[in-house]
Structure 1
Amino acid sequence: MALRDTSPPEGAGPVPTRTAPLDPTGRARLLAGEHHDPHAVLGAHPVPGGVVFRALRPFARAVSVVVDGAPVPLASEGDGFFSVVLPLDAVPAYTLRVAYDGPEQETHDPYRFLPALGELDLHLVREGRHEQLWTALGAQPMTHQGVTGTRFTVWAPNARGVRVTGDFCCWDGTAFPMRSMGASGVWELFLPGIGEGTRYKFEITSRHGGRFLKADPMARRAEVPPDTASIVHVSRYEWGDADWLAHRGQVPVHEAPFSVYEVHLPSWRPGLTYRELAEELPAYVRELGFTHVEFMPVAHHPFSGSWGYQITGFYAPTARLGSPDDLKFLIDALHREGIGVIMDWVPAHFPKDDWALARFDGDPLYEPGDERRAEHPDWGTFEFDFGRTEVRNFLVANATYWCEEFHIDGLRVDAVASMLYLDYSRDSGQWSPNVFGGREDLDAVAFLQEMNATVYRRNPGVVTIAEESTAWDGVTRPTDGGGLGFGLKWNMGWMHDSLQYMSHEPVHRKYHHHEMTFAMVYAYSENYVLPISHDEVVHGKQALVSKMPGDWWQQRANHRAYLGFMWSHPGKQLLFMGQEFAQGAEWSEAHGPDWWLLDPAYGAEADHRGVRDLVRDLNALYRATPALWQRDTDPAGFRWVACDAAEDNVYAFLRFAADGAPLLAVSNFSPVVRHDYALPVGDEVTAWQEVLNTDAARYGGGDVTCPDPVKPEDGRIRLTLPPLATVWLAPAV
């Protein structure tokens, strides 16, 4: 590097000519965290007479610039500013040596690097079309211009300035202001030497002058609550489920067996980590025969009592149970056992924690600016601004992130109804109609359509499932036909009506007979899942078995009969943990299922094991019987045999496979044995054989069974129906 006006002594570096104090305005903006382009004033820049080197290092006692191995001290200008002008022809390669109280530290200067985020990424962010947004925003360890470090990027378009802070700078971000990347609203800074495990936040100065710390919305790892910092993460997990991924989508989900075990991971076996759960959960789910497990939300949430439904870190798994790679280990273990993994996903709202998404850059950003639309009236949270392209991008990319990075097989989307309607839980005057004068949230509709279309296009074999409690038309209709594009929808109507019926004493059930038949009026309007979820066994609603009337024997009999009815009804099944063995107490996230009820040493209550055995047999027969799942969405796959036997509390129907193979399901919801009960099944089958009876002694029933084949006469068969029981019959072999 040629010098201008001096010849330094042998072995010495360039001779400084002068300092170059920063102008008062730029100096004040940097100290206030309000500078939009710190790279323009910090670092090295040509000036008349040479190159100026300027650093902002608060609390440093000395800073030197090292050129060609020779250090040259920078002069202190107060407030942490240091500068020197060297008589150089051009900006050289250099490092900084910074001395605090201890020995000097040599480091690369963050302000000598070009942006580490490309123009294509910025364009896609601006357009709201970055389908892998997590690769562009957040903390990304990388090698940039030959130097290893971490690129920090954050979207904060209303901010006056943004700085990175963390444990690497004692949480004083003064030295690390970020640069604005223009109209994209993105701020960027590459920090050399910063790597995996670093805790960090963004220090934002709003346009109103406020300054506050925010966790990274795109963080892929977070601290265990109550700590709130984001953590730089590098995934090192090597997947072993390639065969699972290659075959999971071979049969469309609505034409395949689909039986779901819903789990709250922190309380399924309290105290277990992700990796410890991997040693127990896959084997348990496989033994019971469920095809899928559904995790209640595992994204980062600060309050355990929210069960994961108030998320502050949409891209980070909860750290309570381990690292992101530990969660991948659990999912991989489930896949190796042939079990699909569905995850609850919560794009409807987010909490107001001041360190998270709420008013992220000092103004409404992720939430709407209209206060009437920003507040979710039921949960004390903010709703997302679905009309903003960058917010939609944040959520759409998040949906595919879980599928691509964590190999999730399905997303159950929470609270869809609250997104679809502008007047959801709002009184007159608290909402404004859409441009057509209606109550539909057109932006939310567009978001859901975009999310579904993107997830299905990018992730073959994945299914999306809507928790939608209204009669919105076309929830599972493809987006190109004007539908929302979900694969399945929770049948909340069936759940409500059937549980209402089961709660009545048998003597009163005849007056509510239609509550068990009405679902067939609309059964083929959508692709349905029949959900007995966590929502039905908390907040005073009682556990499933405790909803049933009668003494303990009758409660269990009702419980078993109901499960038999549910597994044979058109639609897929979902059962929440604890209900598979008739837990009598409501679920509590503090202690989870009452596993002790299954202990053989418990004695008199060992009948809980019978209910668990029934669920295992239901799943085994279900998976082996195409009539129960192959034509779930085809009216030709179902025929009533007895739908009007209200006086008897009896329901009977036939299910048919694609090849016409039938299964007959009969439920007697009366506590009396019905002898010689006639059912018109036709003459197509020469003899029927009982294949399942929820009253069997091994399940805890009275063992009123029919071991011999039954032949129809004049198109009718005559059965002895056990009390409070469901019986399945198949053609005798």
Structure 2
Amino acid sequence: MTPRPSSSGSDPQKTTGKNTAGKKTAKAAKKAGAKKVPAKKAGAKEVPAKRVPAKKPAARQPVGKGRVREEVAVSPALDAGDRERLLAGTHHDPHAVLGAHRVPGGVAFRAFRPYALAVTVICGELRVALHDDGDGFFSGLVPLNEVPVHRLLVAYEGTEHEAEDPYRFLPTLGELDLHLIGEGRHEQLWRALGAHPTAHDGVAGTRFAVWAPNARGVRVAGGFNFWDGTGHPMRSLGSTGVWELFLPGVGAGEPYKFEITRPDGSRTFRADPLARRTEVPPATSSVVHASDYTWGDEEWLARRADAPAHEAPMSVYEVHLPSWRPGLTYRELAEQLPSYVADLGFTHVELMPVAEHPFGGSWGYQVTGFYAPTARLGDPDDFRYLVDRLHRAGIGVLMDWVPAHFPRDDWALAEFDGRPLYEHSDPLRAAHPDWGTLEFDFGRREVRNFLVANAVYWCEEFHIDGLRVDAVASMLYLDYSREPGRWTPNEHGGRENLDAVAFLQEMNATVYRRVPGVVTVAEESTAWDGVTRATHHKGPSGFGGLGFGLKWNMGWMHDSLEYMSREPVHRGYHHGELTFSMVYAYSENYVLPISHDEVVHGKKSLVSKMPGDWWQQRANERAYLGYMWAHPGKQLLFMGQEFAQGAEWSEAHGPDWWLLDPEYGASADHRGVRDLVRDLNTVYRATPALWERDTHPSGFAWVVGDAADDDVLAFLRLDADGTPLLAVSNFAPVVRSDYRLGVPDEVPAWHEVLNTDAARYGGGDVGNPDPVKPEAQGWHGRPASIRLTLPPLATVWLRPA
């Protein structure tokens, strides 16, 4: 379970206790720029509001030309029911009773200003002092024929504050927005809900809107009202469950929360689910935000869709931003990360979750602010700057996205409006058994809309090039980590979560339609059929494809690391752990991931998984990386593994950069592995055979896959024109001289383009420096063969000379 951070100074639980009349509001007025206003301006007409008894003789009012009608003036004061509901925070339509309204006898003005000593209505040159009705309510009846534009002059102890009346404005959300929200089809939901600085009827302020269908009432609390939302109730906009309020004078940078009255009458302060900015954890408030960032990545975006991801080179560097170089902000990272990644030749970075999360130890995988980049490193425009700089350096940006679950923090999404809302109403379906979190209710259209729009949001608003979707398996199966009797089958009696399937299909289809050139990547650890198949193509299971562009190959990762962790003397008995991946290599579009999950919490770093002494460990890692880069599929490497960091990763201090310091005696060992990664990426990107047919069997051919006694495997990669690259791995700690391999006879000579045993990488420099010419002797079922010197614990790549 996500630990609940301590409250910040702006937390309403700390700032909304008993108030002394006028003291806090006086401070608020000064903060808002309040000024002393004379009781009567030159030329202004001051008119006391009319006090109307319960019954009064009829007043003659004009009705058109030459006609009058009889009207009975009414009392402008609120009735007891409205007063009670406003005080209790349970009024659904405060705009219907507050503000100015045409009534018999004129225009009734009503204001709800707790702690105010007096309220005066200002209509141009007319000033009307309202009657104090008690409990913060003020009212008055003015003999006007039309409702005027007006302002309020509010007097507190020691000061007066002139402001717009929030309750004179029409709703800021239109019928189309509400219709799409109700249907669960608002693909830009963040433009409708949340907090938006805007101008309404020429008045600057912020529009607040939140979905809380079970709430009896919702109020806005923030720094602008000293966290007392009593005087700022929101209105319900019909059956959609959306509450809305435009607050004049509130601008960007203001912290806020929603004060929700639950069905049982209790109250809870909640962060905005669609907040685009948050306070820095452990503070938990949302922050009003308006972006003014100007992008400079037009060239990148213009060519992003030139080729689909599975037919293009993709070599990914996975980064945990807060710990890559601890202490750097988004903008400071933008000065260092792009140049580092570009120097090593990676095509993309993958950022571990950026969305706001209260507990840093979750690495971002327990999200509370799905629409806000974490404030730990800067504001949203600072994050835009980082993405922009990566794009300008020619580097794509993937981002981990976590739609499977969310933490139970009582200021966030859990039972948001007093009842299960974002989570499933069935406790067995809602509770995630592994992580102490709650699972989203994928069957509720508004929840699906919240998540689908969130995926679109990151791609459209932050120019993210792809989403790696976390924990897909936990969404797909109703019995995921659940014992018998702790889950309920679907309507067909199966274990598949049909709601989650529909959600993932909708998310993928929407993202690919709206944002050409992006890619979605599934972290899916089972053999679910059709993860990367199009959503309209059904497979043997009867389900349409999930629609992802790529899928993490967890089977390859597990098997290959198991093989590499064994002493070479035992590897021959487990040769199939390296070759089995080719049995299913083309069932999906794969990424080969050596991610953070594999180098943390007792799993050891990549080099420390390898057997033998320090030289053998590094040689094993280099050989493994050469095999990985040549294997069909894209590749992903977590930070620190590119220079053979010996310690496990810790978010507390990040990679051991000091290992690359020339003053450190053994640093050449680590620099050598880093240089190999750079060269792997360089040759990879320049060799279409290694990526052009990653997802087609015609792009791969075994040379020898059964040489278990030798710990050797060799295969060809082929581009669209049939041009080959030969990859040979020797996972034994001995040199194999004159090792014969069958090759195509149309290649006149082979040239070694990469050797992981090269001296510059820290190896023994055993290899094939001269071009190797085929012999007419057939071998391995091929018409010609070559004889190679295979270095120990090494991978070599050869191309036609």
TM-score by length of 1: 0.98
2:582 & 2:402 partners in 1: Cα distance?
Answer: 30
Aligned residue number for residue 58 of structure 1:
114
1:546 & 1:681 partners in 2: Cα distance?
Answer: 35
Aligned residue number for residue 749 of structure 2:
687
Aligned residue number for residue 678 of structure 1:
740
Number of equivalenced pairs: 724
1:587 & 1:276 partners in 2: Cα distance?
Answer: 22
Aligned residue number for residue 217 of structure 1:
273
Q: How does 1:310-389 map to 2 (within 5 A)?
A: 310-389=366-445
SS in 2 for 1:328: helix
1:610 & 1:64 partners in 2: Cα distance?
Answer: 77
The alpha carbon displacement at 1:137 in A equals: 0.3
Change (3 A) 1:507 1:82: same
Aligned residue number for residue 67 of structure 1:
123
2:668 equivalent to 1:635: no
The alpha carbon displacement at 1:467 in A equals: 0.2
Aligned residue number for residue 391 of structure 1:
447
Aligned residue number for residue 538 of structure 1:
600
Code of the aligned partner of 1:489: K
2:720 corresponds to which of 636, 652, 658: 658
The alpha carbon displacement at 1:50 in A equals: 1.8
Aligned residue number for residue 794 of structure 2:
725
1:431 corresponds to which of 487, 509, 515: 487
2:379 & 2:464 partners in 1: Cα distance?
Answer: 16
Aligned residue number for residue 13 of structure 1:
46
Q: How does 1:565-580 map to 2 (within 5 A)?
A: 565-580=627-642
1:60 & 1:502 partners in 2: Cα distance?
Answer: 74
2:480 & 2:424 partners in 1: Cα distance?
Answer: 16
2:527 equivalent to 1:471: yes
2:125 & 2:460 partners in 1: Cα distance?
Answer: 46
Change (3 A) 1:85 1:548: same
2:558 equivalent to 1:496: yes
Code of the aligned partner of 1:575: L
Code of the aligned partner of 2:550: L
Deviations 1:8-60 (A, max 9, x none): x9842344211633211111110010000001111111222222111111111
2:620 corresponds to which of 558, 578, 599: 558
1:288 corresponds to which of 335, 344, 357: 344
- The answer to whether the 8 Å contact 2:689/2:724 transfers is yes
2:698 & 2:226 partners in 1: Cα distance?
Answer: 68
The alpha carbon displacement at 1:135 in A equals: 0.4
Code of the aligned partner of 1:381: T
Aligned residue number for residue 590 of structure 1:
652
SS in 2 for 1:672: coil
SS in 1 for 2:186: coil
2:439 & 2:498 partners in 1: Cα distance?
Answer: 15
- The answer to whether the 8 Å contact 2:92/2:216 transfers is yes
Aligned residue number for residue 108 of structure 1:
164
Give the share of equivalent positions with the same residue, in percent.
76
Deviations 1:677-708 (A, max 9, x none): 11111312111111100000000001102101
Code of the aligned partner of 1:313: G
SS in 1 for 2:668: coil
1:189 corresponds to which of 222, 232, 245: 245
The alpha carbon displacement at 1:719 in A equals: 0.8
- The answer to whether the 8 Å contact 2:599/2:605 transfers is yes
1:622 corresponds to which of 681, 684, 688: 684
- The answer to whether the 8 Å contact 2:44/2:127 transfers is no
The alpha carbon displacement at 1:102 in A equals: 3.7
2:768 equivalent to 1:706: yes
Deviations 1:477-536 (A, max 9, x none): 011111000000000000000000000000000111000000000000000000000000
1:535 & 1:100 partners in 2: Cα distance?
Answer: 58
Aligned residue number for residue 4 of structure 1:
none
1:417 & 1:38 partners in 2: Cα distance?
Answer: 46
2:482 equivalent to 1:420: no
The CA RMSD over aligned residues, in Å, is 1.0
2:166 & 2:764 partners in 1: Cα distance?
Answer: 77
Larger deviation: 96-105 or 664-673? 96-105
2:99 equivalent to 1:43: yes
Code of the aligned partner of 2:793: L
Code of the aligned partner of 2:565: S
1:102 & 1:535 partners in 2: Cα distance?
Answer: 60
Q: How does 1:265-304 map to 2 (within 5 A)?
A: 265-304=321-360
2:259 & 2:719 partners in 1: Cα distance?
Answer: 60
2:579 corresponds to which of 513, 517, 521: 517
1:457 & 1:709 partners in 2: Cα distance?
Answer: 49
1:486 corresponds to which of 536, 548, 552: 548
- The answer to whether the 8 Å contact 1:15/1:87 transfers is no
TM-score by length of 2: 0.90
Aligned residue number for residue 245 of structure 1:
301
2:758 equivalent to 1:696: yes
- The answer to whether the 8 Å contact 2:356/2:364 transfers is yes
1:166 corresponds to which of 200, 222, 226: 222
2:535 & 2:528 partners in 1: Cα distance?
Answer: 14
Deviations 1:555-575 (A, max 9, x none): 000000000000000000000
Aligned residue number for residue 5 of structure 1:
none
Deviations 1:581-629 (A, max 9, x none): 0000000001000000000110124210000000000000000000000
1:101 & 1:518 partners in 2: Cα distance?
Answer: 80
The alpha carbon displacement at 1:70 in A equals: 3.1
1:239 & 1:641 partners in 2: Cα distance?
Answer: 49
1:620 & 1:342 partners in 2: Cα distance?
Answer: 21
**Structure 2 gap ranges (5+):** 1-41, 52-74, 538-543, 778-783
2:257 equivalent to 1:201: yes
